[in-house]
Amino acid sequence: MIKGSCLCGAVTIQIQGQITDIIHCHCSLCRKNSGTAYATNGFVNTEDFQITKGSDSLKTFSFKPGRLRHFCENCGSPIFSSNDADTTRIRIRLGCIDSTIDARPKSHNFVSSKADWEDMDATLPRYERFEPSRK
């Protein structure tokens, strides 16, 4: 079982099945929704997805007809999106996942729409905590 939550903990979820087709999406909609260079999303079968706490704290935003983004009203964390054209699955935001998962992203999508400052440089230094120059 995979568990997840929003930043403030008001909303918790669990997934009985697998997260599939994980991608890093660089489209302008995902960038604006996540506030970052890209959003990492994967699909979950609707029947495998359950909101275990805080369904009353989830709010929605419709950015296109039939498509909803579901987020915590308290902290604003994006949790998942749904699409009336495909009710068999939802698209989960992997940032809300608390459990270890085996699946990994398979691609960067909409790279022609990526932020001009994002160079997808995998050679940047990595630190366990803040970078050494930060106080």
Looking up residue 20, the CATH number of its domain turns out to be 2.170.150.70
> Is the pLDDT higher at 51 or at 122?
51
Domain count, the chain: 1
Does the residue 108 lie in any domain? yes
State whether residue 46 is helix, strand or coil: helix
Residue ranges making up the domain that contains 45:
2-113
Chain mean position to CA 25: 10
What are the tens digits of pLDDT across the range 10-44?
Answer: 999 999 999 999 999 999 999 999 999 999 999 99
In this prediction the pTM is 0.87
Question: 27 to each of 15, 55, 98, 110, 124, how far by Cα in Å?
Answer: 26, 28, 25, 5, 23
